[in-house]
Amino acid sequence: MHYKEAKSILSPRNGMNLYRGCTHGCIYCDSRSACYNMQHDFEDVEVKINAPALLEDALKRKRKKCMIGTGSMCDPYLPLERKLELTKTCFELVERYGFGLTMITKSDLILRDLELLKRINASAKCVVQMTLTTFDETLCRIVEPNVCTTKRRFDVLKLLRDNGIPTVVWLSPILPFLTDTEENLRGLLEYCREARVYGIICFGFGLTLRDGDREYFYKKIDERFPGLKEQYIRKYGNAYEILSDNNDALMRVFTETCDENGIVRGNERIFEYLHAFEQKNTQLSLF
């Protein structure tokens, strides 16, 4: 871990990354890709120590309320967040200034801030996005080794449901030869159904591999699944988009299950929902 004074915090679409790098150890992580020009080891997490001050200044300058997002490049609930509370501090600013909030995470540490998220959702909108990739718990501990397993994330989704906080699941990536089975998909979809998620983001059944990410992925599957790296290379070479041979069959299962259970599955519709600010509990002036 190391600290950095950032120059800005919000992107043009009101997203922020409070940390840079990750210690979850997911073998497929796109954020390792060389195109992001990270100048430090991926596990040596960069902490944007002045993020709260930058965020408060940015929120004060906003002419209109909007949704603030985080987690697209780095999980806001890394283990070091327990001590630093950088995410919590920034979320408190979102509440103070009356903005909406959405974040992507794999961590049950989010439950530490449950009351804060409930307050944001009561006055504006708070949507928790959670990634689910692997129904089998043993396999999950291999492909996502340093973060809570899928079963625990399912428990978190149910707790959020019970507290009135809407959720969205990212069903990605799905790893050919490992998790691209109907059994895996149906298990994950049943979790989504039981948790009554608003929607599921799915770009097809596969993953993407770029320079930097690809090398790490191949190294890890070679360590844990001997011979699988050669299968990938023979079939996909250095392709960016790695689509499972089972994609069409899995997509039919996905589509049917979502439609039968009223789960939104159109990515554009879900992204519109995530970006739509909603003001709640407003009171009209008497004058």
Flag whether 69 is in a domain. yes
**Which range marks the domain in which residue 251 is found?**
2-275
- Which pLDDT score is estimated for 279? 85
- Which pLDDT score is estimated for 112? 98
CATH number at residue 28: 3.20.20.70
Flag whether 194 is in a domain. yes
- Reported as a single tens digit per residue, the pLDDT across 168-217 is 999 999 999 999 999 999 999 999 999 999 999 999 999 999 999 999 99
pTM for the structure as a whole: 0.95
Flag whether 219 is in a domain. yes
- Count other C-beta atoms under 10 Å from residue 35's C-beta: 10
For residue 282, pLDDT over 60 is answered with no
Flag whether 192 is in a domain. yes
Flag whether 282 is in a domain. no
Flag whether 93 is in a domain. yes
Instruction: Give how many domains the chain has, as a whole number.
Output: 1
